[in-house]
Amino acid sequence: MNRLVSLVSRARVRWLATPAALLLASTAASAQEVVDRWGPTPPASTYGPRFDSLFSLITTLIGISFLIVLVMLLVPCLRDNAKKGKKAHFDHGTSLHDKRFTAVVSVVVFIVLDAWVLVRAMGDLREAYWNVPAPDTPGIFKVEVLAQQWAWNFRTPGVDGELGTPDDVITINELTVPIGRPVVFNLTSKDVIHSLFLPDMRLKRDANPGAINVAWFEAAKSGDFDILCAELCGYAHYQMHGKLHVLPEADFPAWEKDASALALAAYDANDTEARWAWDWKE
């Protein structure tokens, strides 16, 4: 680091300071603009803001790191050009000072870049992403997802709150969930690997054939959101999307009642194809 300090204090590179400051300011400003204009939509799940916040932290950390690299790269390029008759400084970099520098920078990098982010990430995983509510938690909304080429089959419990019963609401490419209740998924696939991607909820989980994956989120905003497939699944992979409808608390019971009644009316005990529910996996 003292190399850097000595560099900044040098009079002959002071002309770098103003453009660098300008560049930094405009980068920061344009980064914000990029996020606002082209970044992801604002998080719509309770844990969504965790992603945005950790993303910003990493951006700041690696932004500073990259700036250091850039300065240390550009300064010799501009200053130490052979055309200017510069003589190289003979140095194998084996002195104690150099070894100490390497050790200190390694420790700093590991603590600042890695350990910091690691601790934050572990917190997010344990408190949010991997903290899947147990099946007997009151108020959770269970969804069984059966992916296929190229559609999403959703099974929600209906008014009786039990999966695998005649009043289960089965929908294709449309999923309606209530706001403010944890939505827990059991995912599998009929044919190839798919991946349930809810960009607004900051959630993605693979649907593997022959296995059940678990994921969850809790919607913090009502509205209609996109469901995408994020794992290559063949010819129409790009068209395998659906809609997630998050209903306000007041509207959901009425919707669920209607949907359940419709499902019961359409129930055919002989249609074995339609009875694809499985034992819930925690």
Is residue 135 a contact residue for another protein (CB under 8 A)?
A: no
* 209 contacts 193 by C-beta, under 8 angstroms: yes
* 233 contacts 192 by C-beta, under 8 angstroms: yes
Is residue 5 a contact residue for another protein (CB under 8 A)?
A: no
Is residue 208 a contact residue for another protein (CB under 8 A)?
A: yes
For 59, the token pair is: 């951006």
Q: For residue 259, give the 3-state DSSP assignment.
A: helix
Is residue 197 a contact residue for another protein (CB under 8 A)?
A: yes
Q: How many residues sit in the footprint of another protein (CB under 8 A)?
A: 93
| Segment 64 to 83, residues that bind another protein, using CB under 8 A | 65-66, 69-70, 72-73, 75-77, 80-83
Q: Which is nearer to another protein, 246 or 256 (CB)?
A: 246
Is residue 94 a contact residue for another protein (CB under 8 A)?
A: yes
Instruction: Report the distance separating Cα 194 and Cα 251, nearest Å.
Output: 31
- Name which of 111, 114, 103 is nearest 1 in CA terms: 103
Instruction: Report the distance separating Cα 56 and Cα 61, nearest Å.
Output: 9
Contacting another protein (CB under 8 A), which of 2, 5, 18, 91?
Answer: 91
- Name which of 146, 139, 178 is nearest 259 in CA terms: 178
Q: Which is nearer to another protein, 28 or 238 (CB)?
A: 238
Instruction: Report the distance separating Cα 124 and Cα 102, nearest Å.
Output: 32
Q: Would you give the distance in Å from CA 42 to the centre of its chain?
A: 12
Smallest separation, CB 263 to another protein (Å):
19
Q: Which is nearer to another protein, 43 or 158 (CB)?
A: 43
Smallest separation, CB 98 to another protein (Å):
6
Omega prior to 116 cis, within 30 of 0: no
Is residue 54 a contact residue for another protein (CB under 8 A)?
A: yes
Q: Which is nearer to another protein, 127 or 258 (CB)?
A: 127
| Segment 156 to 185, residues that bind another protein, using CB under 8 A | none
Smallest separation, CB 96 to another protein (Å):
12
DSSP-assigned beta bridge partners for residue 7: none
DSSP-assigned beta bridge partners for residue 227: 242
Contacting another protein (CB under 8 A), which of 33, 160, 191, 258?
Answer: 191
H or E segment to which residue 41 belongs:
none
Is residue 211 a contact residue for another protein (CB under 8 A)?
A: yes
Residues in Cβ contact with 109 at an 8 Å cutoff, skipping those fewer than 6 apart: 65
- The torsion angle over the Cα atoms of residues 152, 153, 154 and 159, rounded to 10 degrees, is 150
| Segment 103 to 122, residues that bind another protein, using CB under 8 A | 105-106, 109-110, 113-114, 117-118, 120-122
DSSP-assigned beta bridge partners for residue 147: 152, 189
Is residue 188 a contact residue for another protein (CB under 8 A)?
A: yes
Residue with tokens 């593997």: 208
Is residue 193 a contact residue for another protein (CB under 8 A)?
A: yes
Is residue 221 a contact residue for another protein (CB under 8 A)?
A: no
| Segment 234 to 253, residues that bind another protein, using CB under 8 A | 234-239, 241
Contacting another protein (CB under 8 A), which of 25, 62, 262, 266?
Answer: 62
